[in-house]
Amino acid sequence: MNAIPAYNSPSAGTHGMITAPGKSYRWDIPEINSDLAAYFILVLAAFQWTLIFISHCVLQRRYVRRRPFVDRPADEYPGVTIIRPIKGIDLNMRHTLQSSFCQEYPGPIEILFAVEDPEDPGIAVANEIIARFPKASARVLIGKDNVGINPKVNNMLKAFDQAQNDLLWICDSNIHTDPGTLRRSVDLLLDNKRLGVIHHVVFSEAPKTFAAMLDNAFLVTNHCRMYLAINAVGIASCLMGKSNLYYKSALDNVGGLASFGQYLAEDNMIGQALWHSGWSHTMTGDLARQPADINSLAEYCSRRIRWVRTRKYNVTFATFYEPLTESILLGMLTSWALQHLFEYRMWAMFTTFMLCWFSLDMIFFYRINGGSPQSWLWFVLSWICREAMALPLWLVAIIGDTVVWRGQRFRFHLNGTVDVLK
């Protein structure tokens, strides 16, 4: 077979022809299309690096230089009801639950533990902690409402209805917060009457298994960094339900807690409902500290797939854009664009891109953690593996419509609601 080499034409683009006995093949690849694609990729890369820069600025302003308490009379602080939904025994559960009793808050605090099953072993832990703090207003509520498929909403509803205060702090049972978290949060609410939600970024700590290290590497770098940047830009609601403060009356005005029982991602839907009704969101410089409790690689993969599939039906555009926030794919595309437009060596550009990304992630973690990890070697290894697994897990997640949560399988509908599968 004889081949005629391809030739370039400044006006027409790139042409080529292959000849074979009795046949000829011709292709025409316009240069302008690949140029536009390369410039578009560089714009996306610049946008992502801007978000990384914003996250480091927020880290410095809010977390490294944490806001001090506001000097105001104690009687100006409203009562707060802390709702802690419990199901089973969590890792370091006594430590996490006890943090609610150690808040340095001048106003009255009510603590409600919500449990479905009267035989749940978490009840004994909650009662043990209540006994340690006899002066605290705390009690365990047992029972289950059935207002939808979301087990967390079904469990919390009794506490929501019986709360004595309008200001609620929903805090998962596996979350530990610093003693000043509540006061700093309420200070923000008192300073800005249009604030409707205070939330705290999830921060994984003390991993014991390699799977937990993978989850830790995700939560304390990529997730935490993007969470801070997106909330700093503030163009839409972006929150997780691990640790949130909002007004019960505001939630009643958008349908009440029960109306969100039809969604699996009730935290996201509550945030969007309050946002669209005019309540803005913000964060303090406090962390929702979560013990890394993943024991196997399968459990880690299942959790990441569940997160992506849940977001796909609630924040669709952001979910499909997500691969472009990951280092390896964006690094490869950026390297190709630089080679195509400026004839840089692709491998050199990709190596530089990854080293810069890695270095900024390590700096980000060190500063928000306030020090080194338990082992830099294992942390770096888990970071590398997490980055390599991100796109394959996203691809698996994006083509499915079912998730497993607490032993129950659910199927999503396009409107974000779900059905329970038997």
Residue 39, classed as helix, strand or coil, is helix
Rama region for 421: left / alpha / beta (φ>0; ψ in -120 to 50; rest): beta
113's tokens: 């533990």
d(CA 193, CA 200): 19
CB 262 within 8 A of CB 409: no
Residue 265, classed as helix, strand or coil, is coil
Residues 6+ apart with CB under 8 A from 214: 294, 297, 300, 382, 385, 386, 389
- In sign, the C-alpha dihedral spanning 398, 310, 290, 364 is positive
Residue 117's Cα: distance from chain center in Å?
Answer: 29
Catalytic residue among 178, 267, 286, 361: 267
Q: How many CA atoms lie within 13 A of 137 on its CB side?
A: 12
Residues in the chain: 422
List phi, psi (to 5°) of 97: -65, -35
d(CA 263, CA 11): 54
343's tokens: 């004839």
d(CA 381, CA 207): 13
Is 178 catalytic? The answer is no
Residue 293, classed as helix, strand or coil, is coil
- In sign, the C-alpha dihedral spanning 376, 380, 381, 382 is positive
Catalytic site positions? 267
